Amino acid sequence: MAIPVGRRAPSWSSDRDGSLAELGTLHDVAAVRERCDMVYRWVADGRSPHFTLDESRLAAVAGYVADITREAYPDLKIPYHSRWRHFSAGGVDRWSELAARVDAAALERARIAVDLATVSVLLDAGAGNAWRYHDRKTGHSLTRSEGLAVASLDMFAAGLFSSDPAHPHRVDHAALARIDAATLARHFQVDGENPLVGLDQRSVLLRRLGTALSERPDMFGRTPARPGNLIDYLLGIAEQRRIAASAVLAALLESLSSIWPSGLTLEGFAVGDAGYHPAARAEGRTDRIVPFHKLSQWLTYSLLEPLEAAGLGVERLHELTALPEYRNGGLLVDLGVIRPRAPIDPLVRHEVSSELVVEWRAVTVALMDPLVDLVRARLDLDASFTMPKMLQGGTWSAGRKIARELRPPDGPSPIPVAADGTVF
């Protein structure tokens, strides 16, 4: 396996345990694309009992996405799809307001940004249709990703993720170890009339994050162990302050895959966000496994700006994949590219691990690659228009818009998923 720019061979690939090296190949973004392509070919060949494809509809999807992108960004200066966009919900630049109150050098400010992005992204699985967050600053009622973003930022600003009152604006392992469901409920305004999907699982996820940080002092430091110290690790392995985006993702997968409560595990080795599908054939123990690493890739996208602020150039963004979640996947279903063989019952929720959902997610990843080229051509942009810009421009907003048009008022997913608040 080729090692991307700025990437060391991970520790689990040593000769002391060859089985870990075999399973560790799933912690490579190339494996996500390769295995998803296998599933795509299975569906395209008509072998799926769940879906058929009408790829002639991709051109219409590209036009729809391009129109939404032009509306949102008339100058076509499209930022990365990242958590930082959600922090500005309602047109309020909350991060800049917080950063202005932090007396720190540029590198430490970047570490703080990584701290915030990490906890916020990990709390960003589906919130459900009922939950709302009242933003006291603006009086707005925020839902879904925007609400989760602002709630997590407010919690971060209040120092709840730090164990040191003298340094409230950080995330450390000791503070994460103390977070329980009641703490999250209080700060996310959860009660009987305002339920949040997966509250208990989210608190477990944060505590597991704290454990993972403390177990990797080489990446996250010791005093304290915090996500922001990942910047120092990446600067140390970068070549002339340049690093491949796939290497950033690999570092996150190597160090944090153990945190997922519902993640797939083989022989005690945490694969993370992955599922089984009969089309994904391989030799050995990875046979039929399809890795997705949705939140890990979402976190990678969300770290691009803090890493650049720290003076680290992140290259080869095209190697990352689309995020296999219900806005991108829903767009392809709602506009007729991915076609369910049988009508989808809106009252039946499908498990994330089910073959139907694994297949839907995999085909979404595969089809979003050619969609980048189509949208780029529609917008008459150059090769700098890569996946993170299409997602932002883009497919995520397009998926939300068409869902609201077809299933008002909240626009739920066309395929209901039994989300647990941690992966999907």
What mean pLDDT is predicted for residues 348-355?
A: 94
Burial (0-12, 13-18, 19+ Cβ within 10 Å), 7: buried
Backbone angles phi, psi at 45, to 5 degrees: -80, 0
User: Across 288-413, where does the E strand assignment appear?
Assistant: 289-291, 313-315, 338-340, 350-351
Is 76 inside any structural domain? yes
Q: Residue holding tokens 């477990």?
A: 204
Specify if 158 maps to a domain: yes
pLDDT confidence of residue 18: 56
Q: Which domain holds residue 146?
A: 11-418
Count the domains in the chain: 1
Helices 355-379, 326-334: crossing angle, 10 deg rounding: 80
For 392, which DSSP code? Answer: I
pTM: 0.91
User: pLDDT at residue 166 above 60?
Assistant: yes
CB 275 within 8 Å of CB 359:
no
Average pLDDT over residues 206-227: 95
Average pLDDT over the chain, rounded to an integer: 91
Per-residue pLDDT of 249-279, as tens digits, reads: 999 998 988 887 666 777 777 788 899 999 9
What is the pLDDT confidence band of residue 3, given thresholds at 50, 70 and 90?
A: very low
* pLDDT tens sequence across 118-143: 999 999 877 888 999 999 888 999 99
Three-state secondary structure call for residue 45 = coil
Q: Which stretches of 123-198 are DSSP H helices?
A: 144-157, 173-177, 181-187
Q: What is the pLDDT of residues 360-400, one digit of tens each?
A: 999 999 999 999 999 999 999 999 999 999 999 999 999 99
Tell whether 303 is covered by a domain. Answer: yes
Q: Does the bond joining 340 to the residue before it have cis omega, within 30 degrees of 0? A: no
Six-digit token string for 1: 């396996």
Residue type, 61: V
pLDDT of residue 261: 67
5: confidence class by pLDDT, cuts 50, 70, 90:
very low
Nearest Cα residue to 124 out of 78, 162, 85: 85
4 within a domain of the structure (yes/no): no
Q: Indicate whether 402 belongs to any domain.
A: yes
Task: List, in sequence order, every residue forming a beta bridge with 315; answer none if it has no partner.
Answer: 244
Residue 2 lies in a domain: no
Give the model confidence (pLDDT) of 82-94 as tens digits. 999 999 998 899 9
**Residue 324 is assigned to a structural domain of this protein:** yes
In a domain, 58, yes or no: yes
Query: Around 9, how many Cα atoms within 13 Å sit in the side-chain half-sphere?
Result: 8
CA-CA distance, 149 to 151, in Å (whole number)? 5
